[in-house]
Amino acid sequence: DGIPDPDLKLRVRVQARQIFTYCRAQKMGWAQDVEPMVRGMAEFIGHFGVTECRSDGYVHLLNPDFSIADSKKDLYDHAFFTLAYAAIYDTFADRPAHRKARRIVQWIEKEWAHPSGGWREGDYPAPWRRQNPFMHWFETCMFLYEASGKPEWAERAKRIFALFEQYFFDAQAQVLREFFNEDWTLAPGATGAIVEPGHMFEWVWLLRWYERLMNHDTSAYANALWHKGLAIGLDAAGLIYDQVDADGNVLAATKRLWPITELVKAGLS
């Protein structure tokens, strides 16, 4: 019925995603005077989402009273914290926000650098490495490059694109792979077989954005993901399965709203 659930734990990254959303809305002329709300959410994250004063790392979940429910620090989450500060910088010409985005990245590179390339999943033992955090770091680095023009962000985007080419994109099956061992070999068995069509469409959008920014032709990858995603990912009504395998066998028949937004974005691109 739309009434907030007061007993639900809060995902800290959602606050960051809302910061980005409202900053973009103002930038595009769809909302006005969002700065007080945006800065209030940033202050909330900085106060309740950290385990120590002035930390550049943020926790995963809060209890309804804003105490920490899950103190793990996650690579996926931090893509959105960085993106939030990038959006504040872009919308309000706030240079300290750009410095904060850089500090988060420097903190991650110091704490979570992985010998096989990229970063660890976070400060906790993870059973697999995921492509999903890198997809959102790709987005964040491109946004920062577009907003600032600073080559450091282009270089980071290029490194993530290299991971996509080498590991995430399966050229033989024409799909995006999701889960990997520590050395980026594909996870075994049922875990390695998982394909998420929503993520395939998301990469189509991101690859076309990368192509525009870097003048680097990504059409072979984007077209492959688009056509294979349509072939294996949709039900009879045009909704998108959460998980299939590379042959189109349905692994999770549930369907959510976010993959539809990615299908629309991919189609537009």
pLDDT digits (tens, 9 = 90+) for 228-250: 999 999 999 999 999 999 999 99
Question: Directed axis angle between helix 151-163 and helix 197-214, to 10°?
Answer: 140
Q: Is residue 123 exposed (0-12), middle (13-18) or buried (19+ Cβ within 10 Å)?
A: middle
Q: How many CB atoms lie within 10 A of CB 223?
A: 13
DSSP designation for 64: T
- The 10s digit of each residue's pLDDT in 26-69 is 999 999 999 999 999 999 999 999 998 778 899 999 999 999 99
- Residue 61 tokens, joined: 């979940």
Mean pLDDT of 190-204: 98
Q: In the chain, how long is the greatest CA-to-CA distance?
A: 52
Residue 231 three-state SS: helix
- Residue 143 tokens, joined: 């946004």
Query: Is residue 192 pLDDT above 80, yes or no?
Result: yes
Mean pLDDT of 196-219: 98
Overall pTM surpassing 0.85 (yes/no): yes
Instruction: Give the E-state strand segments of 67-153 in sequence order.
Output: 68-70, 129-130
Gap between the Cα atoms of 50 and 26, Å rounded: 28
